[in-house]
Amino acid sequence: MPTANVDDHEDVWVFVEEHDGDVASVSWELLAEARELAADLDEDLVALVIGEDVDDVAREAIQRGADRVLVVDDPVFEPYRADPYGEQFRYLVEEREPDVVLIGGTHTGRDFAGRVAVPAHAGLTADCTELGIDEDGHLEARRPAFGGNVLATIKCERHRPQMATVRAGVFEAAEPDPDRDGEIERVDVVVDEEDAVTSVLEREVGDTADITDADRIVAVGGGAEGDIEPAIELAEALDAELAASRKAVDEGWIGHDRQVGQTGKTVRPDLYVAVGVSGAVQHVEGMNDSEVVVAINSDPNAPIFEHADYGIVGDLFEVCPELTDLLEEADEPEEVIA
C-alpha cells in the first residue's frame, strides 16, 4: 500500500465548523490546543473555514490563534452537507499536504471526516482526549479504550495527513486576541451544486443549550424509573442543565442530546450531580473531569460513589425534593428589617 512521503507534509490544520455564521465552540477549543502542537512541530497553524459569507469567522480564527486561514466561500457550502464539504476538503488536503488535520467531533465533523480520510488514505483517530507530538515528530492521539480505564496512544507513522477528531468540552478555547495578525487566503471552490447528491430541505436549530457548555449539571439515571421530575426540579433550583445516563436515554425518558458518557457527550462542569445513576465506567468517562461530583443513589454499593466527592445514600424521590426545597429557601431574599 503506497504510503505518503511524510516529510513533504507540513502544517497543522484545524477545521472551523460554522453554520450560518455561528461557530461551534469545539473549533476554538481545538485551535487553542493546535497552537501548542504547531509550536512543538515548528509548523504553521492553519484554520480552514468553509461556508458562505464567512469573512468574520476567518478573522476570528486569526484572533483565536491561527497563523493562516484558508477560506472557501460559496453558497454550495451553506447549509452543511457531507459531499460538498468532503470533496472540497479532500481536494485541499491533496493539494496542500498538511501534516496534521484536526476536526471537532460533532455530528458535522464526524460526518465528513471519513470522506477526507478515506481518499487521502489518512489515519483518523476519533474522540481523542489528549494530543501530543512525540520525539519523532509524529502526532500522538490518545483516547480511552476498554471503557475508559486504559488510555490508548494511536499513531499514524507512515500515512499523511494524521487526522483526529475531538469532542466538545475536552480542550479549552483561548480568548480572542484582537491584535493578532495573520494571513487570510481565499481558495478555489471545486464543487458544484450539480455534483451534489444530497439536499437539505429544512434545518431547525433551537435554543437548546448545549450541555457541554454548562457550568452545573444534574444528570438523571436508571434509578428514576421513568419519573425525572425530581431531577428536573433540582436542576432548576441549582440553575443547572439537565443531563442523563445512557439508561435513561435508552428507556426514552429523555433525549439522546442530553446523554453524558462514552456514546454521549463529555462534560466538565463545576458541579455535577448524579441522581439515580449507577456509575458505569462508560458514563463516568463522560463526566470525570467535573470539578465537584455529588452522587445520590439508594444502593450503597453503586460504583458512582467511588467517583463522587459527596455521596448521599438514599431514595432520590425523598432526597431531591428536600434538596430542592433547601436550595430554594436559600435563594429567597432575606427579610430586611428596616
Partner 1 sequence: MTDPWTVVVGVKQVPDEDDVSIDPDTGTLDRADAAAILNRPDRNALEAALRLKDEVDARVIAMTMGPPMATPALETAVAMGCDDAVLVTDRAFGGSDTWPTSLALAETAEYLGADVVVCGEETTDSSTGQVPPGIAAHNDWAQLTYVEELDPLPDDEQLAARRDVEGGYERVVADLPVVVAVAYGENDPRPAGLHRKIYAETEFDPVELSADDLGIDEDTVGLAASPTQVGGMETVDPVARERERVETPSELVDELADAGEI
* Interacting positions 19-58 with partner 1 (CB under 8 A): 24
Q: Is 243 in the site for partner 1 (CB under 8 A)?
A: no
Span from 36-44, 56-64, 137-145, 217-225 in contact with partner 1 (CB under 8 A):
137-145
Which residue, 69 or 102, is less far from partner 1 as judged by CB? 102
Enumerate residues 60-79 that contact partner 1 by CB under 8 A: 79
Pairs from 179-185 (Cβ < 8 Å, separation ≥ 24): 180/62, 180/63, 180/65, 181/62, 182/61, 182/62, 182/66, 182/67, 182/68, 182/69, 183/67, 183/68, 183/69, 184/55, 184/58, 184/59, 184/62, 184/68, 184/69, 184/71, 185/68, 185/69, 185/70, 185/71
For the CB of residue 179, give the shortest distance to partner 1 in the complex, in Å.
Answer: 32
Residue 248 near residue 229, CB atoms below 8 Å: no
**Count of chain residues binding partner 1 (CB under 8 A):** 91
Check: CB of residue 26 under 8 Å from CB of residue 67.
Answer: no
Site for partner 1 in 116-135 (CB under 8 A): 116-119, 121-127
State the cell numbers at 47: 484554520
Q: Which is nearer to partner 1, 185 or 270 (CB)?
A: 270
**C-alpha cell, 105:** 467531533
Q: Which of 36, 52, 83, 315 binds partner 1 (CB under 8 A)?
A: 83
- Residues 162, 156 contacting (CB under 8 angstroms): yes
27, 106, 266, 297: which one binds partner 1 (CB under 8 A): 106
- Contact in structure between 171 and 29 (CB atoms under 8 Å): yes
Segment near partner 1 (CB under 8 A), from 30-38, 46-54, 141-149, 175-183?
141-149
Whichever of 44 and 97 has its CB closer to partner 1, that residue is 97
C-alpha to C-alpha distance for 227 and 222, rounded to whole angstroms:
10
Site for partner 1 in 192-231 (CB under 8 A): 197-208, 210
Q: Is residue 2 reached through a cis peptide bond, with omega within 30 degrees of 0 on the bond before it?
A: no
Residue 48 pairs in a beta bridge with 15, 70
- Touching partner 1, residues 264-323 (CB under 8 A): 270-271, 280-282, 288-289, 291-294, 305-313, 319, 322-323
| Stretch of 35-43, 49-57, 144-152, 173-181 lying at the interface with partner 1 (CB under 8 A) | 144-152
Nearer to partner 1, 68 or 246 (CB): 246
Assess whether the previous peptide bond of 79 is cis (omega < 30° from 0). yes
If binding is defined by CB under 8 A, does position 257 make contact with partner 1?
yes
Name which position in 41, 224, 238, 277 contacts partner 1 (CB under 8 A).
238
